[in-house]
Amino acid sequence: MTVRRTLLATGLAALLMQIPLIASAQKMVLKAADVHPAGYPTVMAVESLGRKLETASEGRLKVQTYPGGVLGGEKEMIEQTQFGAINLLRTSLGPVGTVVPEVNVFNMPFVFRDIAHMRAVIDGPIGEELLARISASPAKLVAIAWMDGGSRNLYTKKPVRQPADLKGQKIRMMGNPLFVDTMNAMGGNGISMGYGEVFTALQTGVVDGAENNAPSYFTSNHYSTGAKYYTQTHHLIIPEILVVSRVTWDKLSPADQALMKKLGREAQLEQRALWDKAVADNTAKLKGAGVEFIEIDSKAFREATAPVRAKYGAAHADLIRRIEAVR
C-alpha cells in the first residue's frame, strides 16, 4: 500500500510539473481594447502586432481587437486590464498617471519642445526607463511600447487666441488633476470627463470646448457640435502606451514575453508612420468641414502654466533636466 501511495504521489507530482508546460502550449486569444475606432492608427498598429504574433507563434497566440470604446472608457479599461479581463490595452498616459505617478513627467504642459523632441525621448533611454517603471509598479500593467498621441490643442465654440479668451469657458480635460490644473492655469475652467461623454456634453453646453489632437477631434465628430475653432496651443504633447495585463503576462513563457516586447517596439514605429498620415489627412478633412485652424504663438500659455510644472515637476527635477537635454 505504501509503495502504491508513493507511486501515485510521484505520478501526481510529475503531472503537476507538466501543467505549466501544457498551459504554455495552449492557444491563447488576447483581448485588445482601445477607445478609438477601427481604422485609427493605434488600432491598426495593434492589429498588425496581432497578425505578426499569430504568425510567429504558429497560431498559438492571437489578438482579437475591441476598438471604439466598446469595453468602456479608458479608466474602466485600465481597471479591467489590471484584473486580466482585458489582455492588451492601448491607453492615454493621462489616466495612468493616477496609478503610476512617475509618468506624470510626460503629462506636464510644455515639457516637450515639439513632436520631434517627444519622439527622441521615448525612443531613447528615458522612454525605456519609464516603460520599466510602469511595469515594476503595483499597477499590474506591463508596458511594452509607446505610441504617438500628437500635440493636443483647444477646440472651442468661440475663437481663442490668448489666455484671456478662455475666461469663463468650461473645457473638458482627461481624468487627471494635473490636466485640470493645466486648463485652469491657461485661463479656462477645467472639467474632468470621460472621453465617451464629450460629444453630448459639447452638444448640450455642459462644456464649451475640449482639447485633443486632430485625428481624435475628427474621428470623434466633435467638430460637428459647434466647436469649430481649433487653436494650435500645443500645450500637451503626450505619448500613449501599449500595456499587457500583468495577469496575462505571467502566463506567458519567457520566449513569448520577449516576442511581445519585440513586436511592441515594431508597433511603436509602425503606428508613428500611420499617425503622421492620419494627422495630415484629418487636418485636411477638418478644414474642408469648415473648422478654422488658429495659429498662435503659444508663449503666453507656456508662461501661464509655469506654476503647474513647478507643482508637479518638483519630484522629477532630474528627469526633466534629462528630457530638456535630449536633442
List the chain pLDDT tens, one digit each, 327 residues: 433 433 333 343 333 333 333 344 579 999 999 999 999 999 999 999 999 999 999 999 999 999 999 999 998 999 999 999 999 999 988 778 777 888 889 999 999 999 999 999 999 999 999 999 999 999 999 999 999 999 999 999 999 999 999 999 999 998 889 999 999 999 999 999 988 899 999 999 999 999 999 999 999 999 999 999 999 999 999 999 999 999 999 999 999 999 999 999 999 999 999 999 999 999 999 999 999 999 999 999 999 999 999 999 998 999 999 999 999
Distance (Å, whole) CA 108 – CA 103: 10
Tell which phi-psi region holds residue 168, choosing left (phi > 0), alpha (psi between -120 and 50) or beta. Answer: left
Distance (Å, whole) CA 293 – CA 91: 27
- Give the predicted TM-score (pTM) of the model: 0.86
Phi/psi at 227 (nearest 5 deg)? Answer: -85, 75
Task: Work out the burial of residue 226: count CB atoms within 10 Å of its CB; fewer than 13 is exposed, 13-18 middle, 19 or more buried.
Answer: middle
Phi/psi at 276 (nearest 5 deg)? Answer: -60, -40
What integer pLDDT is reported at residue 25 of this predicted model?
54
Which residues are CB-neighbours of 322 under 8 A, at least 6 positions away? Answer: 126
**CA distances (Å), origin 187, targets 169, 184, 217, 315:** 8, 5, 21, 25
The secondary structure element, H or E, covering residue 217 is helix 214-219
* Nearest alpha carbon to residue 134 among 98, 109, 110, 108: 98
Distance (Å, whole) CA 50 – CA 277: 22
